[in-house]
Amino acid sequence: MSAVVEVQNLSKHFKNVKAVDDVTFSVEENTIYGLLGRNGAGKTTVMQLLTGQDFASSGDIRVFGESPVENARVLQNISFIKESQKYPDEFQPKHVFRSAPWFFPNWDSAFAERLIDDFRLPLNRRIKKLSRGQLSAIGVIVGLASRAPLTFFDEPYLGLDAVARQIFYDRLLEDYGEHPRTVILSTHLIDEVSNLLEHVLVIDEGRIIIDEEAEALRGSATTVVGTRAAVDAFTAPREVLHSEYLGGLASVTVGRLSPGERVEAAEAGLELSPVSLQQLVVRRTNVSQKEFEQSA
Amino acid sequence: MSTVTGIGTEPLEPAVPRAARAAGRILPVFRLQFVNRWGTFVIPWLIMAFIFVVNFAVWVIVIANLSSPEARADAQSGLQFSGASFYIFVYLAVFASQAIAFTFPFALGYSTTRRDYYLGTALAFLAMAALYAVALTVLSMLETATGGWGVGGQMFSAVYFGGPDAPWWVRLFIFFSSFVFFLFAGSTVAAVYMRWRNNGMLIFFAAAALLVLGLVALVTFTNSWPLVGEWFVANGAAGVAVWLFAPTVLSALAGYLVLSRATPKN
């Protein structure tokens, strides 16, 4: 495996906001990454910096070994249709798909046509008159059919119905299997995509707080349920990520448990259940929020 | 075209993949500016045709109501200052600024560098200016050849374009120079907007107003208005069209510098 993206001490400051704050990470080739985080966490800014659409305040970005800023050799291998992508007002979807192959050397028009059918996208309607979901569908189709070695999807599902979202996930996996590439997917619907992701980056307040293999992350937390006394006794020596109490019952989330610890828990009459990626992200981003408030 | 998997030979640092060897995106951007021909060619010429029809009707009405040959000649000589075709120049200035405002964020979404975007767009503007200049030259030669469309009307051969006695290549040159000026003036305004948004617009137009005011004051207080008039007369329409390239080139360079640090915002 080799790194397609290498970011070191990257920061981007707007007037009063540190949108990206001293971030270091790398992205391996031919892997699907999830870039997760709350609204305003810095996801889009990171992607704009990686694609040379915005300029870093400080730090170093290498994409395919080179700086992406004004670098045609790098950018030609990138597809990044962001959630708020603007299209020329007078354009119809057909103009987008007519011009896309000029820009993306790997463009597959048969695949694009199939996706247009899948999403039932009207080709001869002005962009201004499209619904939010149809607008998102254009971005999804361009992102998939361009088959760029490094493809970004920035909240691609916005306004898409459940069926269309499922089509997106299915087509992405299918095509990824046949044409491996590096995909960075930013999303709020973490549970929906959690099976898709191979690696997870969680960004909060402009900082990367989780950078882990999705597989490792899935087992990295467990919820312990049982009577309050038994749960507290079991979880006392551990770091508690989250706790909920209801009468005499308790539900407490802790970190990874070893097989021995699992046996111990079972003997104490406790129930163990895995924590979903979404819950994990919610818990972790809440914790960092509190820490931030305390330090402020 | 090329597939991207490199099975077997895997370098430590992934080299820029093969697709990268394709040429820059200057030509794709050029084509992008013409992908929707409605706004570039159809609408402006529909409006131009309408303006022509209205003017033609006015000429016919005026001529029909003037009985003496002297009065007719007088009316027709006034037409040499017709500004009826100014619209098309303003249209192209607006068109250029809209083109930048819409296609800049779009082309960057297609992973284009700002440099390739600007060069491709500038080439598209030059091509458009050339096509429009040819079309207006043909119309103006027709106008001269038909004695003002049979009614002594003037619209494409007004004095600003060299007058009815100018040869075709002088007319072509004046039209081209004017179109290029308006296109790049419009695109520079849009570039300022892309870079600094509303505040940029306010400062830009305030500065432009002060500059014009300053020049007017300078000329007035030095009693130089006759000199200015003489300069225009001495240079003639063709000479002015040559000088027009100076602000055009300045504007094009400024547009590039401004846009080269602009970011597509939400």
Q: What is the pLDDT of residues A101-144, one digit of tens each?
A: 999 999 999 999 999 999 999 999 999 999 999 999 999 999 99
pLDDT at residue A78, as a whole number? 96
Look at A73 and B32 and tell me if their CB atoms are within 8 Å: no
Give dist(CA B133, CA B85) in Å, integer. 12
What angle, 0 to 180 degrees and rounded to 10, lies between the N-to-C axes of helices A109-119 and A93-103? 150
Residue B8 has pLDDT above 80, yes or no: no
Phi, psi (5° rounding) for residue A130? -80, 155
Residues of B in contact with A53 (CB under 8 A): 108, 263-264
Helix (H) or strand (E) holding B260: none
Torsion of CA B149, B153, B156, B162, to 10 degrees: 120
Contact (Cβ atoms closer than 8 angstroms) between residue A240 and residue A251: no
pLDDT at residue B31, as a whole number? 95
Residues 128-147 of B with CB under 8 A from A: none
Helix (H) or strand (E) holding A17: none
| pTM, rounded to two decimals | 0.90
Residues of B in contact with A70 (CB under 8 A): 113-115, 260
Residues of B in contact with A79 (CB under 8 A): 111
| B223 at interface of A, judged by CB pairs closer than 8 A | no
Residues 82-121 of B with CB under 8 A from A: 98-99, 102-103, 105-106, 108-116
- The token pair at B120 is 């491709």
- Give the model confidence (pLDDT) of A186-221 as tens digits: 988 888 898 899 999 999 999 999 999 998 888 888
pLDDT at residue B38, as a whole number? 86
- CA–chain centroid gap for A284, Å, is 15
Residue in chain A nearest B40 by alpha carbon: A90
- Give the model confidence (pLDDT) of B205-233 as tens digits: 999 999 999 999 999 999 999 999 999 99
Q: Could you tell me which of A45, A44, A33, A43 has the C-alpha nearest to residue A217? A: A33
pLDDT at residue A2, as a whole number? 85
Give mean pLDDT, residues B129-151: 95
Distance from CA of B247 to the nearest CA of A (A): 27
> DSSP secondary-structure letter at B160?
G
Give residue limits of the domains in chain B.
20-259
Look at A86 and B105 and tell me if their CB atoms are within 8 Å: yes
Look at A179 and B4 and tell me if their CB atoms are within 8 Å: yes
Residue in chain A nearest B8 by alpha carbon: A1
- The token pair at A191 is 């549970």
Residues of B in contact with A4 (CB under 8 A): 14
User: Higher pLDDT residue, B130 or A83?
Assistant: B130
Distance from CA of B66 to the nearest CA of A (A): 46
Look at B16 and A102 and tell me if their CB atoms are within 8 Å: no
Distance from CA of B103 to the nearest CA of A (A): 6
Look at B28 and A148 and tell me if their CB atoms are within 8 Å: no
- Give the model confidence (pLDDT) of B230-260 as tens digits: 999 999 999 999 999 999 999 999 999 999 9
In which band, very low, low, confident or very high, does the pLDDT at A183 lie, cut at 50, 70 and 90? very high
